[in-house]
Amino acid sequence: MKLNILKNLFVLALMCTGLVSCSLNEYNPTGTTVLTVISSKAGFQLAINNCYFGLQRSYYGKLNMMLCTEGGTDLWTARQNSNYYSSQLKYGQGGLISLNVASDLWNSGWDGIGSCNLCIENADKVTDFKDVNEKNALVAEAYFMRALYYYHLVEQFGDITLTMEVPKVIDNSPKRTSALDIYEKCIIPDLEFASKWLPLSNTAQEGRGFRKSAMGLLARAYLQTKEYTDDNKYVVKALDLAKTMISDCESGGTLYNTYMYPNLVDVFAKGNNLNNKESLYSVAFSQKGGSTNLWQHNDTYQMYYCKPDQFGAILYTGHQTEYGRFSNGTLMPSKYMIDLFKQNDNTIDPRFYTYFQTQWTANNKYTWNSDNIKMYDKTSAVTTATVVNAGDVAIRFIRPEESTYAAYSAQKLTSPSLVVDYNDLYGSDKRVKMKYARLNDGTNADNPFFYYYPSLSKFNTDNFGYISASNGRFGCDASAIVMRMSEIYLIAAEADVYLNGGSGAAVYINKVRTRAGAKILSGNITLDMVLEERAREVGGEHVRWYDLKRTHKLTKAYLLDKNPDVGDYFVDGYYAVRPIPQVFTDVIVNGADYQNPGY
């Protein structure tokens, strides 16, 4: 009996130890919260850096950004005028447009805005700023970036949600705010703050916003309000600001570090790519960092090049070996774009040859074959024994304004090289010629010349930080210029057109033209003249779609008139904004209401 009691006590004791409750508190030694980290200056800097994440991931240097800012305009069509990227370049060619066509811009833009809100809201909680100046200089980067993201989101998507705070409660039914409100409540005040507080320069940290970056973007933003209101109050500010910058530039950039290269060739010269002095703001790429794969850095060099290696005398050996060698880019200039470089006296604006490549040299000994002789409509002067030697000119684009045109044109069916005639590439109907009528056999064949068009070469580079030719992968570390000083002159000119009917605009435009070696303009400048000048000077630099929107030219009538290959498919009141991404409308409660009309 006694034993039994002992036994029971023993068991009971064991049980009690088993029943002791243990703590259920979470132990999380590695864990931390965002707010804890950013309460120090060093941590706050991490949050500031994150404001640039979306920009570097999805904006400048990325194909879709280019398609969404330059595609679908008067200046470009798809390569070979095909259905390539038709959603962006030709508004779906009358068919369907994917609703996620700009979802990368959408998501990365909001990612950036959220990061900026976090910084702006918590800057005061940082405990170790030296003084208010140090705080403002740093937080001004967040203001600058928030404005840049909103600028693109508003221009791409129209009225969107205005979120300027870290959410206390998650909003599953977001409201839309008018575009002008977003300019007035966010973009403009943010840039005004940034223009005051950002540092002047930091060449070691290219890619951060500087004072001139905020000023330049602010000038753009002021002017862009013309898209939404007839009120010129911001245009006045645009002109003032542009004048301030021009004055600084012309007096050596002492105040704001602005600069314009005296020679056109220097603007996109290979040595001036990093820390380009004319650039007001550039996005930097480095193999040291980035959120994408190393070969997906700055891809702009790939976007405008034609396909010279379609002709056997030019072998694609990897674009790392020769400056500017790429093949099969996405955008092809429209006839309108080419024609813009014809000056009133029938000479060609020098920018055509500086900004475009029109001639290619053979890098391979090529012997003609019978297929190609037939395809390129060669006469019997070219036989299967005819050779193009490495080093010879292999492809030459010619246009009627050139003095040599007649001579080259005469040999285009007899020379061993390819002579691509403007008139074989573009028709009098302002379209790309899809067919070519062979003289030899009378066949109306697929145009064999449309692979070889003048190729915008502004973005050509040899700055490849990563090369894996065997995988066809090249990581380009060239900086992507967001905005440069010559555009400020054009902003001033456009503001003058709105304010003074263009009486004072010639001064500004001619500065740009003189630098380019183009003939100067005189008299009153019209809005159309400014737009044409912008096409010549900053065409391809992520602005054209917004230019057309601002000047109310993103219309079917205008596009049909200038670039009917694209204009055919534009629908007024529909395509001037992108579809709100379906990945977003699927998540919110009011998805159908949030979508832009028509989509």
Partner 1 sequence: MKFKEKHFNMLNKNALRKSVLALLLICFSLSSFAQTTNTISGLVKDLSGEPLIGVSVKLGNGKVGTITDPQGKFSLVVPTQSSLTFSYIGYLPQTILANQSFMNVVLKEDNKNLDEVVVVGYGTVKKRDLTGAIASVKSDDIISSPTGNAMEAIQGKVAGMDIVKTSGQAGASVNMLLRGTRSIYGDNSPLFIIDGIAGSFDNLNTYDIESMEILKDASSTAIYGSAGANGVVIITTKRGKESKTTVNFDAYAGVSGFAQYPSAMIGDEYVNLKKEAYRGANGNYPEFMTSIFTDPAVYSAYQDNKWIDFVGQLLDKQTTNQTYNLSVSGGTEKTKIFASYRYYDENGLLEGDNIKRHTFRINVDQAINSWIKSGINVQIGYLNQARRNQGVFGNILTFVPLGDSYDANGNINPIYVSTTQNPLSDEIPGQYRDDVRTTSVNSNAFVEMNPIKGLTYKSVFGANLSIARNGKFFGPQSIANVTATYARPVSSLEYDGSYGYKWDNILTYHTKINKDHDLTLTGISSWSFNQDEMFYAIGQGQTLSSQYYWNLLAGTVKQGISSTFQQSQSMSYAGRVNYSYKGKYLFNASLRADGASRLADGYRWDAFPSAAIAWRMSDENFMKSTQNWLSNLKLRVSYGISGSAGGIAPYSTVANAYTYPQPTAFGNTAGSSIQYAGAYPNASLGWEKSYNTNLGLDMSFLNGRIDATLDLYNTDTKGLLFQRQIPITNGVSAWASPLSGWQNIGQTNNKGIELVVNSRNIVHRNFTWSSAFTFSMNKDKVVYLPDGKDIIGSNLFMGESVRALYDYKYLGIWQQSEVTNAALYGCVPGDIKIATVPITTNGVSDNGVHKYSATDRMYLGSTNPLWFAGLQNNFTYRNFDLSIFFQIRYGLIQNNALITRFNPILNTNSSPSGANYWTPENTDAYYPRPGIHSSTTQYLGWSSLGIVDGSYLKIRNLTLGYTLPEKVLQAMKIQKIRFYATAYNPMVFAFSKMLEGQDPERSGSDNFPFSREFVFGLNVTF
Interaction with partner 1 in 562-591: which residues (CB under 8 A)? Answer: 582-589, 591
Q: List the one residue from 41, 84, 405, 556 that touches partner 1 (CB under 8 A).
A: 84
**CB burial of residue 537 (10 Å; 0-12, 13-18, 19+):** buried
By CB under 8 A, residue 375 contacts partner 1? yes
Q: How far is the CB of 243 from partner 1 (least distance, A)?
A: 31
Q: How far is the CB of 41 from partner 1 (least distance, A)?
A: 13
Q: Which is nearer to partner 1, 228 or 569 (CB)?
A: 569
Site for partner 1 in 98-137 (CB under 8 A): 98-99, 101, 104, 106-108, 110-111, 113-115, 117-118
Site for partner 1 in 203-222 (CB under 8 A): 203-208
By CB under 8 A, residue 54 contacts partner 1? yes
- String marking each residue 252-291 x if it binds partner 1 according to CB under 8 A: ----------------------xx--------xxxxxxxx
Q: Which is nearer to partner 1, 307 or 412 (CB)?
A: 307
Q: Which is nearer to partner 1, 294 or 507 (CB)?
A: 294
Number of residues binding to partner 1, judged by CB under 8 A: 129
Site for partner 1 in 422-481 (CB under 8 A): 434, 443, 445-446, 451, 466, 468-472, 475, 477
**CB burial of residue 25 (10 Å; 0-12, 13-18, 19+):** exposed
SS (H, E, C) 257-291: CCCCCCCHHHHCCHHHCCCCCCEEEEECCECCECC
> Is the separation of the CB atoms in 452 and 397 below 8 Å?
yes
Mark the segment that binds partner 1 (CB under 8 A) among 18-26, 384-392, 411-419, 509-517.
Answer: 18-26
By CB under 8 A, residue 177 contacts partner 1? no
Beta bridge partners of 359: 396
For 426-508, list the strands marked E by DSSP.
435-437, 444-446, 455-456, 464-468, 473-476, 480-484
Site for partner 1 in 402-421 (CB under 8 A): none
Identify the H or E element spanning 333.
Answer: strand 331-333
Whole-angstrom distance, CA of residue 575 vs CA of residue 66? 17
Whole-angstrom distance, CA of residue 431 vs CA of residue 484? 31
Residue 226 DSSP one-character state: G
By CB under 8 A, residue 82 contacts partner 1? yes
Site for partner 1 in 292-351 (CB under 8 A): 292-295, 307, 309-310, 312, 315-316, 318, 328
Q: How far is the CB of 342 from partner 1 (least distance, A)?
A: 30
Q: How far is the CB of 589 from partner 1 (least distance, A)?
A: 5
By CB under 8 A, residue 13 contacts partner 1? no
Q: How far is the CB of 189 from partner 1 (least distance, A)?
A: 18
Q: Which is nearer to partner 1, 5 or 346 (CB)?
A: 5
Site for partner 1 in 32-51 (CB under 8 A): 32-38, 43, 46-47, 49-50
Q: 514: helix, coil or strand? A: helix
Amino acid symbol at 171: D
Q: Are strands 444-446 and 435-437 parallel, antiparallel or unpaired?
A: antiparallel
- Here the tokens at position 343 are 């000056």
Q: Which is nearer to partner 1, 130 or 288 (CB)?
A: 288
DSSP track, 362-407: --S-EE--HHHHHHTT--TTS-TT-EE-TTSEEEEEE-TTSTTHHH
**CB burial of residue 255 (10 Å; 0-12, 13-18, 19+):** middle
In sequence order, which ranges of 391-478 are alpha helices (DSSP H)?
405-410, 422-425
Q: List the one residue from 2, 21, 271, 442 that touches partner 1 (CB under 8 A).
A: 21
Please give the torsion angle defined by the CA atoms of residues 213, 201, 487 and 326, in that order, rounded to the nearest 10 degrees. Answer: -100
Q: Which is nearer to partner 1, 210 or 341 (CB)?
A: 210
Q: List the one residue from 69, 73, 77, 87 that touches partner 1 (CB under 8 A).
A: 87
Cα Rg of the chain (Å, integer): 29
